[in-house]
Structure 1
Amino acid sequence: MDNILIIYPILPVVLMNFIVMFHMRYMIVKAIKKRDVKYKYFRAYEGSAPEYLLTSRHHYKNFFEIPILFYLLCLVLYMIDDVSAIDLWIAWLFVLFKGIHSYIRITSNYVPYRAYSFNVCVFLLFGGWIILVIKIL
């Protein structure tokens, strides 16, 4: 199997990261314009902020948690030159469920659906890491 194929699933996750970042910036501008928060709030993020702004910031921070393990998994698989079909399935399913999680988070933020999609992402990532460890050992 062509090793470069494991890099392709990284690209949509990076794109999602930028989309969420731009969404967060939009929410910051919205909060300032609506006077829901004062500009000085952003010096130390102390004080109260509207829920839509906190949700957006938290969602952006999430992209520097679980996805980091995804990037690392894909890059290690690429480096050891041992990409299988199951690795690609896991990677693309992770992308799908991360996208679902992101969509839910930005729109309805309905916790049961959001939690389900997050848990699927974690399960897929955990499985991918187990497979990687087996390959290395």
Structure 2
Amino acid sequence: MHKTAILYPLFALALWTALVLLQIPIARFRAAARREVTASDFKYGESATVPAYVCIPNRNYMNLLEVPVLFYVACLLLYVTDGASTTLVVLAWAYVALRVLHSLIHLSYNHVYHRLMAFAASNLVLIALWLLAAVHVFTQAPA
């Protein structure tokens, strides 16, 4: 397996994050056109009067900037240490798929328990990714 294979899921999650980011102004402009919000509702973040459908894309975007930072670091660590095994690349793609699933649930029907299951599963995959990355790093012969 080519060492850059571990970067493909990293780019995929970054692209997904950008697509979710685009949902924020779409929701805000739609709400403004319907006169459900004004610019002052966003002066200090989102006021309590902002409808939930406007807040959710922003919250999901924030979710994609929190824990996934550890995913990006793990992928880069595996890349620079030539540790991108097939198993780790599959785990990285599984993480991306679960984060996309989490977003799709959050941005559509938003069932809390379904969202929690996707979120928890993604975190378990991330833990496995880090554990296997650590094994790789600590079992390498010193240079």
Q: TM over 0.5: same fold?
A: yes
Q: Which amino acid aligns with 2:3?
A: N
Please say if 1:131 is aligned against 2:135.
no
Number of matched residues? 137
| Corresponding residue SS for 2:39 | coil
Q: Structure 2 matches for 1:44-59, cutoff 5 A?
A: 44-45=44-45, 46-59=47-60
Change (3 A) 1:96 1:47: closer
Paired residue type of 1:51 = A
> Which sections of structure 1, spanning at least 5 residues, go unmatched?
none
In structure 2, distance between residues paired with 1:83 and 1:55: 34
Aligned to 1:71: 72
Give the partner amino acid of 1:98: R
> Deviation of residue 48 (structure 1)?
2.1
Residues 1:87 and 2:123 aligned together: no
Q: CA deviation at 1:83?
A: 1.3
Task: Please say if 1:20 is aligned against 2:20.
Answer: yes
Per-residue deviation, residues 48-103 of structure 1 (Å, max 9, x unmatched): 21111121211111111121111111011000112111101100111111111111
Structure 1 runs of 4+ aligned residues shifted over 4 Å read none
Q: Which 10-residue stretch deviates more, 28-37 or 41-50?
A: 41-50
SS at match of 1:37: coil
Instruction: Normalising by structure 2, report the TM-score.
Output: 0.90
CA shift digits 1:10-29 (9 cap, x unpaired): 12211111110111110010
**CA distance in structure 2 between the partners assigned to 1:14 and 1:21 by the alignment:** 10
Once superposed, what is the RMSD of the aligned Cα atoms? 1.1
Q: What is the percent sequence identity of the aligned residues?
A: 27
- TM-score normalised to the size of structure 1? 0.94
* Alignment partner, residue 101 of structure 1: 102
Distance 1:76 1:2 in 2: 15
Would you say the 8 A contact 2:83–2:133 is kept in 1? Answer: no
Cα offset, 1:47, TM superposition: 4.1
Q: Partner letter of residue 14 of structure 1?
A: A
- Identify the residue that residue 32 of structure 1 maps to in structure 2: 32
